[in-house]
Structure 1
Amino acid sequence: MNKQQQPLCKASVTQSFTQAIVHQLAQLGVQLPPTLTEQLAAQQSQQRLPLALQDALWQALEQQRQPELGLQIGMALQPQHFDTIGFLLLSSPSLSTAVESLVNYSSLIGEGGTFSKAKSPSGWQISYEDHFKIAVALRIEAIFASIATGARWVAGKAITPLQVQFKHAQQLPTELYQQAFGDAEVRFEQAQNSITYSDDDWHFRQQEVNPLLQQQMLELAQQQLQQLQPRSLTERIEALLHRQPWLTRPQLAASLAVSERTLARHLAAANTSYNALSQQVKKHLALQQLQQPHVTQASLADFLGYSDEQAFAKAFRRWTGMTFSDYRRHQ
């Protein structure tokens, strides 16, 4: 349920990810418009492509009227297609560690949305909040099919999600979703896009993982992220709160590898504080998410990190001067 802050530079996507999609389309016999092919070819010397160009690619796929392409592309993607983050995920000792890297470094693949993770009653849930305007269903299904495939890489065994949720309506026959997600319960027209794994699969640890390699890949991913999105500490704090609004002050400082004193000093220099910035982000996310008909006061309270629904209700009234239900009715 996260939403991005305004980017400091034009959104982009890694070249290898786009080329992997183009290669898979050729394998499937799908022809792209000549103009688009020329535009992609002209960018081959670049490490990253403008996200707008990949938007054009997905728009061309949507015009093919083959809704199965999303799942087919997602299932065919391999670790090398994700550059550094692909090898980072493969070097992770467990799915839980891999998802932590996905949440923190997914923008290295593409800046089309943000991942988050949360404990659910049945296991652990990975959610994706997209910023797409074009071919949304195709792209989301490709992303989640690739997550299901990637989870099997990380675990080193055939694991199946418990549940997959999509915001969009069902696009394909049920048996095609079963090819991507096995026996998982697949739901459509839900409040969020998410995939849920059992506790056992989430914490299953491989024996062969090299911890030194994992550390090296983490350092490389961090370097690339800094190059991709050079930000001040204050901007990084805000971005992290947008992805994980439930973080407490100590958790936030630990995530950024700084002391709480350093955190407070940098925020004060920007004429703000943890409390002020946290409330600002939570208000923004709350008002944004209540536009979704399935979002409830209880679900927002849990996502935003409030101790109970009543605490969130008080904060919401302070932000808007209305109760949650009155505000939604007014809107």
Structure 2
Amino acid sequence: MSKTDYIPSGFIETLQVYVRERGLPAPVLLDEMSLELESPSVSALRFCDLLESVRQLDPVNALGVRLGLAVRPSQFGVVGYMVSSCGTLGQALARYHRYQGLLQAGLSSRAWLKDGVLFMRWTQSVANTPLASEFSLAVFVSLCQALVGRPITPLRAGLPFSRPEDAAVYPVLLGCPVDFDCNAIELVLPAHLLALPIFSKDPYLLRLLEQQAQALLKQQPLIEGGQTGAFFTQVQEQIVESMKNGDVSAEAVARMLGCSLRTFYRQLSSAGYSYRGLLAHTRHTLARQYLADPALAQTDVALLLGYSEQSSFIRAFRSWTGMTPGEYRGNLTQGKRDFTSTDPGRRAIP
């Protein structure tokens, strides 16, 4: 694995606040942190160095946990805004898992439910020092608590390093028993927490997602009449919902509509549409709307459309319009709004 993994630079803000609030004599270190914050991401190795610099200034027990518990959702970058827009903690964690690579490419995780308990386990290929590992664990707990607006009580936590001399502080800070010498970072939560509602304090992304749904609902159905038209509308609406969770596969949409994949394909085919074409048409329509908003970065647009990689969005957009998203946005800026929209979902039925 490459040693050039990156994480959101927003996490550095927590380190800055800690140094200042503790009155630590580190003007040079604070300046270095400010420079790193000028970029949206920071090398994972560099972040580990900054963590260690703070520890040398203030060698308190469980420093990584203390720092991680102070992180806010906004410091997660676009993923933080995305999970903050969800309706429940369960929806947020599903989306977090889907887009975790945007937080740290070297992050490998697994989550599963069993007997009313949610088990999570993850490893970090680069940011894998004891300090970084405990920071990562605490950051996740902090995110969950911030999303639901109240403390949560894990059932257990685990860390992949030897038991420190003063291990008693870890369960006090995290609110649960903590094991050491684990094979990975581990967290166990009661499954009922997944139903907790999210009261987001930053509704910006939620508003965008609502606009996304409204934009499609305002479109006149491309299919006229009866059960076929109603089914088409349901498919459009479900595509919008599936984009929020990052899984826009035909299987996922059909499952949410309560029909078999075979029936799903047959109904679309009878109306003269393919699912791939319909998905492309929906994404194309919304992409043009989002690119007209200068406040949205291209990476944000890609995520809103359900792409896990910006490169995939760029390729798709070029196939729809013959230009890149950047070129399209540049033409909009120049007032060239005479682009025509095709319906790539339509195909001939013999």
Mark the CA change 1:81 to 1:185 in structure 2 (over 3 Å): closer, same or farther.
same
Aligned-residue offset at 1:129 = 0.9
- In structure 2, what residue type is equivalent to 1:223? A
Shift of 1:32: 4.6
In the alignment, the residues of structure 1 paired with residue 194 and residue 307 of structure 2 have an alpha-carbon distance, to the nearest angstrom, of: 31
Per-residue deviation, 1:188: 1.2
| Partner Cα distance (2:7, 2:103) in 1 | 6
The CA deviation at 1:180 is: 2.7
Is the aligned partner of 1:204 residue 2:205? no
What is the percentage of aligned positions where both structures have the same residue? 16
Please, which of 162, 186, 196 is the counterpart of residue 169 of structure 1? 162
Superposed CA deviations along residues 240-298 of structure 1, whole A, max 9, x for unmatched, are xxxxxxxxxxxxxxxxxxxxxxxxxxxxxxxxxxxxxxxxxxxxxxxxxxxxxxxxxxx
Name the structure 2 match of 1:27.
21
Letter matched to residue 82 of structure 2? L
Distance 1:17 1:228, change over 3 A: farther
For 1:43-192, list aligned pairs within 5 A. 43-64=36-57, 65-121=59-115, 123-132=117-126, 136-171=129-164, 173-182=166-175, 184-192=176-184
Contact 2:84-2:200 at 8 Å conserved across structures: no
Deviations 1:195-252 (A, max 9, x none): 111121123345889895484694865726999955569xxxxxxxxxxxxxxxxxxx
Structure 1 residue 13 displacement after superposition: 2.4
Is the Cα contact below 8 Å between 2:67 and 2:135 reproduced in 1?
yes
Residue segments in structure 1 that go unaligned for 5+ positions in a row:
1-5, 234-331
Match of 2:338 in 1: none
In 2: Cα distance, 1:104 partner to 1:157 partner: 24
* Structure 1 residues 55 and 121: CA distance shift in structure 2, 3 A: same
Does structure 2 retain, via aligned residues, the 8 Å contact 1:71–1:141? yes
Residues of 1 paired with 2:182 and 2:137: CA distance?
15
Count of paired positions: 224
TM-score, normalised to structure 1, is 0.56
How many angstroms does 1:123 deviate by?
0.4
Higher relative contact order (CA 8 A, sep 6+): 1
| Aligned mates of 2:7, 2:52 — CA distance in 1 | 16
1:164 Cα shift?
Answer: 0.7
Which amino acid letter does the alignment assign opposite residue 171 of structure 2?
Q
Give the drift of 1:179: 3.5
SS of 2:121's equivalent in the other structure is strand
Aligned-partner SS, 1:157: coil
Larger deviation, residues 152-161 vs 202-211: 202-211
Residues 48 and 141 (structure 1), Cα distance of their counterparts in 2 relative to 1, 3 Å cut: same
Indicate the residue corresponding to 2:231 in structure 1: none
- Contact kept? 1:148, 1:160, Cα under 8 Å: no
1:84–1:221 Cα contact (<8 Å) kept: yes
C-alpha distance after superposition, 1:3-40 (max 9, x if no partner): xxx56x94322222223322223223344583x55544
Q: 1:119: Cα distance to partner?
A: 1.9
Q: 1:206 to 1:48 in 2, by over 3 A?
A: closer
Alignment of structure 1 residues 227-246 onto 2, 5 Å: 230=310
Q: Give the conservation status (yes or no) of the 8 Å contact 1:93–1:154.
A: no
Partner Cα distance (1:222, 1:126) in 2: 29
What's the TM-score, normalizing by structure 2?
0.53
Distance 1:121 1:33 in 2: 51
Decide whether aligned partners of structure 1 residues 214 and 139 sit closer, same or farther in structure 2, where only a CA change above 3 A counts.
Answer: farther
Larger Rg: 1 or 2? 2
In 1, the alpha carbon distance for the partners of 2:30 and 2:139 equals: 24
The secondary structure found in structure 2 opposite 1:158 is: coil
Between the aligned partners of 1:227 and 1:61, the Cα distance in structure 2 is 37
Q: Is this contact kept in 2: 1:11–1:111, CA < 8 A?
A: yes
